[in-house]
Chain A
Amino acid sequence: MALKESEAIVLRTYPLRESDLLVTLFTRLEGKVKGVARSAMKSRRRFGGALEPLTYVRAVYDDRERRDLARLDSCEVIESPMASEVTYSRAAALAHVAELLDEILPDREPSDAVFRLSLAVLHEMRGAVLWMPLTYFELWMTRLMGFLPEFGECVVCGRELDGNRAFYHALADGLTCLDDKRIASSELSPESRKIAGQMLRSRVSEFAAIEWPKAVGQDLRKFLLQILERHIEKKLVTAGMLERIAG
Chain B
Amino acid sequence: MSRFAEPMTRLIDELKKLPGIGNKSAQRLAFHILRSSADDAAALASAVQDLKAKLQLCTICNNITDVDPCVYCSSPTRNQKLVCVVEEPTNIASVEKTRHFNGVYHVLHGSISPLHGVGPEQLRIGNLLSRVSGGEIEEVILATNPTVEGEATATYLAQQLKRQGLRVTRIAMGFPVGSDIEYTDEVTMLKAMEGRREM
A binds B: yes
- A binding-site residues for B, Cβ under 8 Å: 12, 15, 17-18, 44-45, 48-50, 52-54, 76-77, 80-83, 85-88, 90-92, 94-96, 98-99, 237-238, 240-241, 244
Q: Are A83 and B20 in contact (CB under 8 A)?
A: no
B184 CB to nearest chain A CB (Å): 8
Q: Are B156 and A87 in contact (CB under 8 A)?
A: yes
Q: Are B186 and A53 in contact (CB under 8 A)?
A: no
Q: Is B114 an interface residue (CB 8 A)?
A: yes
Query: A80-B186, A88-B152, A88-B155 given as contacts; is B115 within 8 A of A52 (CB)?
Result: no
For A80, what are the chain B residues with a Cβ–Cβ distance below 8 Å? 186-187
B107 CB to nearest chain A CB (Å): 19
8 Å CB contact of A82 from B19, B114, B115, B187: B187
Q: Which 10 A-B pairs have the closest CB atoms?
A: A91-B152, A95-B114, A86-B151, A48-B185, A92-B114, A80-B187, A237-B117, A88-B156, A95-B115, A18-B20
B53 CB to nearest chain A CB (Å): 28
Residue of B nearest to A75 (CB): B185
For A17, what are the chain B residues with a Cβ–Cβ distance below 8 Å? 20, 22
Q: Are A85 and B155 in contact (CB under 8 A)?
A: yes
Residue of A nearest to B121 (CB): A244
Residue of B nearest to A18 (CB): B20
B169 CB to nearest chain A CB (Å): 16
B16-30, CB < 8 A from A = 19-20, 22
Task: State A44–B184 Cα separation when bound (angstroms).
Answer: 11
Task: State A244–B114 Cα separation when bound (angstroms).
Answer: 11
Query: A49-B146, A82-B151, A88-B155 given as contacts; is B185 within 8 A of A244 (CB)?
Result: no
A-B contact count (CB 8 A): 82
Q: Are A238 and B115 in contact (CB under 8 A)?
A: yes
Q: Are B114 and A237 in contact (CB under 8 A)?
A: yes
Residue of B nearest to A102 (CB): B115
Q: Is B149 an interface residue (CB 8 A)?
A: yes
For A53, what are the chain B residues with a Cβ–Cβ distance below 8 Å? 115, 148
B126-149, CB < 8 A from A = 146-149
For B176, what are the chain A residues with a Cβ–Cβ distance below 8 Å? 44
Q: Give a binary string over B98-118; 1 marks a CB under 8 Å from any A CB, 0 the rest.
A: 000000000000001111110
Residue of B nearest to A99 (CB): B115
8 Å CB contact of A49 from B19, B114, B149, B185: B185
B152 CB to nearest chain A CB (Å): 4
Q: Are B119 and A48 in contact (CB under 8 A)?
A: no
Task: State A10–B183 Cα separation when bound (angstroms).
Answer: 21
Q: Is B120 an interface residue (CB 8 A)?
A: yes
Q: Are B112 and A91 in contact (CB under 8 A)?
A: yes
Q: Are B148 and A50 in contact (CB under 8 A)?
A: no
Task: State A45–B182 Cα separation when bound (angstroms).
Answer: 12
Residue of A nearest to B115 (CB): A95
